[in-house]
Chains A and B, each alone.
Chain A
């Protein structure tokens, strides 16, 4: 399988505080990579570094054969990287349809007909079509999460970054979002997915990357990662005898 993303020796810092260091991994096309790790491990910073919201001070990010390390977020989006946010960031003054149109118009950038067609297709597939003319600021948390995914999907991403799409939802709502994630997996889009529900991650991903204090602790098949002592130690604090 072709490698679509290569992260090599990534270093990110906020001022003097190093958040990510010496982080390297690859993602293959159509693969679902789960990123786990305790709070403060640098998971969301990794998403920000991949989507261009923070620029690393060292290391490279190569996506689809292009070095995007210094590229802006909008350039990365047009190149095929879409993302969602842990705390949804809808365009609150715009309707659901307009939110998705933003992604379609700027991400896809085809004719008006193609942009509207894409928006309608995405609204249908994310079960938001009936709420198209609702102002996004009035949506429930579940629909805001759906809208995050819909807006990202409208940009026609080759790589989708999902940042805790299930966080803050009830069990029933988590089930609905997971169905949506299953649909995404079926589309063949490459996904990097952060979630705290370890069991779900182990079952639904192709590879797992466990981060600890800003660096990659262990990377591999979910069964291998979940069985490792390092992961157990990070989550449960079990020390080696």
Chain B
């Protein structure tokens, strides 16, 4: 890549901002209060959840209403792996991701033959079915759920690091993925699935990859969340409120943008904490969040990040492939002259 002063300045600025943010995040438990640490930990988890829903709905056209299934599976797998099998917590988290992937791949052969509303309802149905199964199995504690005994030994700061590492890795995965060939194909599928198919983009395989990545990371995220709760219970872990939260985060932040779930996740955690101090009725909080989401859709349909990007003409963590940058990165031989050039 050819470097000029402006490129170097821009790159330096981006690296400095990234290093400052990462340094602040990784040192927060040493200088921040316990409540702040807990808030940022929650933000990490909700941003991860938002990124994964955005990957499905914002880039692949797969509007899932069943993300709670992977949260629950991640939580339960962690509980069984650490408490029943005596495995380390990290292994339990990864196993939660793997079990989620196995379920997602198993269901994909049915789910990926559906589109739009049918896909959305089917994912919700499978999540509800999973809830009913888990809530009736004695081994999994039926309706009472399971304790994650090992997680009791951890302090908030330790779980905080699990959350931060997860959200940083997830953001990197999303950026790398969307800048890859698969990402280009996903953008094409999002914009027009039949035209993308006749342009050579393999529909089933591309969507399956998205489901695998999304289910794995959401499963791990569920494990990290229930590590902080110490107790996983079916009606909470398989609740649709997880997907509602993901939808809110992405709609507020900006669907189909990389920075959208980050902004949306921060707003969601602040709002839900603030609303919980105002009202003790959980469902009322959901109604208020819903009204806010509708208001944002009416005022700024592309979400906060989408609207700001459109207004000011820049993209945060952009996956855009500009001709000039591509040519600078991969110099190619001069192409044949265009018609206009040939005529002149």
Contact = CB atoms under 8 A, between A and B. Distances in A.
B327 A120 contact: yes
Interface stretch (A101-109, A165-173, A200-208, A218-226): A101-109
A108 to B, nearest CB: 9
A180 B340 CA distance: 12
A83 B192 CA distance: 14
Interface in A74-119: 74, 76-78, 82-83, 85, 89-95, 97-98, 101-103, 105-107, 109, 112-113, 116-117
B332 interface: yes
For the residues of B in contact with A, the DSSP-based class is helix
A126 B335 CA distance: 12
A73 B197 contact: yes
B195 A98 contact: no
A72 interface: yes
A73 B198 contact: yes
Contacts of B201: 74, 102, 106
A124 B199 CA distance: 19
A155 B339 CA distance: 20
Interface residues of B, number: 36
B327 A116 contact: yes
B84 interface: no
A183 B339 CA distance: 9
Interface in A128-147: 129, 132-133
Contacts of B337: 124
A95 B197 CA distance: 18
A132 B195 CA distance: 19
Interface of B: 181, 184-185, 187-188, 190-192, 194-203, 256, 320-324, 326-327, 330, 332-333, 335-341
Given A72-B197, A91-B187, A93-B187, 18 more contacts: A72-B202, A74-B199, A74-B201, A74-B202, A76-B198, A89-B192, A91-B195, A93-B190, A97-B323, A98-B187, A102-B188, A105-B181, A109-B200, A113-B330, A121-B336, A124-B337, A125-B338, A127-B339
